Amino acid sequence: MSLAKEAQHAYLGHVTRRHFLKSAGAGLGAMAFASLGAVGAADPTGSPDPLAPLKPHFAPRAKRVIFLHMAGGPSPLELFDYKPTLARLHGQDCPESLLEGKRFAFIRGVPKMLGPQATFRQHGESGAWISDHLPHLGRVADKIAFLKAMRTDEFNHAPAQLLVHSGSPRLGRPSMGSWVTYGLGTENANLPAFVVLLSGGAAPDAGASVYGSGFLPTVYQGVQCRTKGDPVLFLGDPEGVPRNLRRKSIDAINTINQQQYEEIGDPEILTRIAQYEMAFRMQTSVPEAMDISREPAYIHELYGTAPGETAFSNNCLLARRLVERGVRFVQLFHWGWDSHGAGESEALNGGFLERCRETDRPVTALLEDLEQRGLLEETLVIWGGEFGRTPMLENRSGTDNPFVGRDHHSDAYTMWMAGGGVKGGITHGETDEIGYSAVSGQVHVHDLQATILHLLGFDHLRLTYPFQGRDFRLTDVHGHVVHQVLA
């Protein structure tokens, strides 16, 4: 056998079927890696660490994000969008003009109008309307920018959740947290750059896709952490494997990986080495960061936390602990806001009240705690669901149903932002007198995404990744920065 054939045989010995398929697209792979530097998403020092800290396109107002997603679509008509006219229309038949050409998830025929199921008061110097379901949030009303005329293109949960978090209602796109970590890297190599915390008894309807990396490298996907047991599954060493032996095992694996990289030159091998090292460091850093029992008593009183439980309050405190340790993006999902009224657990006069009690105190505490630590100025906090609710009663459960609820509504709902370069104490956008349609300041989901990226120092048009022959971005081919909410 000639030397050339021996060399070829040795090379093929390293190439699995998967590696062969990757190598077949080496041209596209090279384009992908070359493009990273063009968007400011590759380390100019040439570091093999894909999560090394990076500079955005321009000076950022926010360095990190906490996204509080209320899965199910909380009703703004019971929280922030005060509509006395709707109260006067309570019980009347819905006008035909509101139904023509509209699609609803569950409403059939002619429903009745449903007045607000809460009492509202104005708070702070801004006079923000907040319902009595959120008695604590009024304390921080002047820190919040309310977006009262949000709009989405979807009226079912999973597609709408995918749209707000990945920019597309279909599977396969990277989540917002993945885009942010791809573009900025992390400030703490000992912790995941993108952490996900779940509460409320169930995962979002769209599942892990709402925090997945899509076509981005998997290193950018969200890492789900738990408040019971090991914070990350399989994080601990196996029984009988001491720490020094684990270190030797990783050294041996990475020696082989390094040899393979020198022979083949596949950049993903360097990523693999970095991830082995990070996993080893996480074994000590993650348990410490996730241990809220280390917090003083006054902090537990502020948040209403109970260490060891799977609760939204615990997750809010964890979010603060994580961002102060350099985690770039913390995503909280709180399930149970789908208030159709078909039963007590999903009624505006039932489960909805429980969701408000579970979240009001810790959300308020989070903003106050971040501010007193000097973190709010550079931490962007976002609150909202995937869509809103109709001003009419959902009518699928009959007239004798003691529980009341509203159907999904995509045309007008409320989200809010605070900190991280956002102007506090303002309301942007307005809905009509019954909260059904926007009359000014409408903000599409893609506009919200463009604004979030702008606050992080990115031109959303330039934060791209090549896939299947074209450059993709979080905002797809849409999106405008909402400059009115910027400080």
Q: Identify the CATH number of the domain in which residue 189 sits.
A: 3.40.720
> Could you tell me if 113 and 205 lie in one domain?
yes
Q: Mean pLDDT over residues 181-198, rounded?
A: 94
Question: Is residue 460's pLDDT more than 70?
Answer: yes
Instruction: With respect to residue 259, please indicate whether it lies within any of the assigned structural domains.
Output: no
Residue 198, strand partner residues: 333
> Could you tell me if 3 and 60 lie in one domain?
no
> Could you tell me if 11 and 105 lie in one domain?
no
Confidence of residue 21 (pLDDT cuts 50, 70, 90): very low
Instruction: With respect to residue 244, please indicate whether it lies within any of the assigned structural domains.
Output: no
Instruction: With respect to residue 179, please indicate whether it lies within any of the assigned structural domains.
Output: yes
Q: Mean pLDDT over residues 145-151, rounded?
A: 98
Instruction: With respect to residue 133, please indicate whether it lies within any of the assigned structural domains.
Output: yes
> Could you tell me if 103 and 125 lie in one domain?
yes
Distance CA(356)–CA(351), nearest Å, equals 9
Distance CA(308)–CA(85), nearest Å, equals 45
> Could you tell me if 85 and 183 lie in one domain?
yes
Question: Is residue 109's pLDDT more than 50?
Answer: yes
> Could you tell me if 58 and 192 lie in one domain?
yes
Quick one: three-class SS letters along the chain?
CCHHHHHHHHHHHHCCHHHHHHHHCHHHHHHHHHHHHHCCCCCCCCCCCCCCCCCCCCCCCCCEEEEEEEECCCCHHHCCCCCHHHHHCCCCECCHHHCCCCCCCCCCCCCEECCCCCCEEEECCCCEEEECCCCCHHHHHHHEEEEEEEECCCCCHHHHHHHHHHCCCCCCCCCHHHHHHHHHCCCCCCCCCEEEEEECCCCCCCHHHHHCCCCCCHHHCCEECCCCCCCCCCCCCCCCCCHHHHHHHHHHHHHHHHHHHHHHCCHHHHHHHHHHHHHHHHHHHHHHHHCHHHCCHHHHHHHCCCCCCCCHHHHHHHHHHHHCCCCCEEEEEEECCCCCCCCHHHCCCCHHHHHHHHHHHHHHHHHHHHHHCCCHHHEEEEEECCCEEEEEECCCCCCCCCCCCEEEECCCEEEEEECCCECCCEEECEECCCCCCEEECCEEHHHHHHHHHHHCCCCCCCCCEEECCEEECCCCCCCCCCHHHEC
> Could you tell me if 103 and 220 lie in one domain?
yes
pLDDT of residue 25: 43
pLDDT of residue 30: 36
Question: Is residue 286's pLDDT more than 70?
Answer: yes
Instruction: With respect to residue 249, please indicate whether it lies within any of the assigned structural domains.
Output: no
Q: Mean pLDDT over residues 126-135, rounded?
A: 98
Quote the domain boundaries for residue 24. 1-38
Residue 389, strand partner residues: 408
> Could you tell me if 68 and 171 lie in one domain?
yes
pLDDT of residue 38: 34
Contacts of 282 (CB under 8 A, 6+ apart): 190, 191, 192, 232, 235
pLDDT tens digit sequence for 339-357: 999 999 999 999 999 999 9
- The more confident residue out of 288 and 282 is 288
> Could you tell me if 70 and 196 lie in one domain?
yes
Q: What is the pTM of this model?
A: 0.87
Confidence of residue 32 (pLDDT cuts 50, 70, 90): very low
> Could you tell me if 15 and 95 lie in one domain?
no
Confidence of residue 148 (pLDDT cuts 50, 70, 90): very high
pLDDT of residue 139: 98
pLDDT tens digit sequence for 203-260: 999 999 999 999 998 889 999 987 666 666 656 667 777 777 777 787 888 889 888 8
pLDDT of residue 400: 80
Instruction: With respect to residue 100, please indicate whether it lies within any of the assigned structural domains.
Output: yes
Closest CA to 87 of 117, 122, 123: 117
Instruction: With respect to residue 199, please indicate whether it lies within any of the assigned structural domains.
Output: yes
pLDDT of residue 243: 72
Confidence of residue 50 (pLDDT cuts 50, 70, 90): confident
Question: Is residue 37's pLDDT more than 50?
Answer: no
- The more confident residue out of 187 and 45 is 187
Instruction: With respect to residue 208, please indicate whether it lies within any of the assigned structural domains.
Output: yes
Distance CA(294)–CA(401), nearest Å, equals 47
Q: Mean pLDDT over residues 321-330, rounded?
A: 97
Q: How many domains is the chain built from? A: 2
Backbone dihedral angles phi then psi of residue 130, each to the nearest 5 degrees: -135, 135
> Could you tell me if 26 and 141 lie in one domain?
no
Question: Is residue 94's pLDDT more than 60?
Answer: yes
> Could you tell me if 387 and 298 lie in one domain?
yes
pLDDT tens digit sequence for 370-423: 999 999 999 999 999 999 999 999 988 777 889 999 999 999 999 999 999 999
Average pLDDT value for the chain? 88
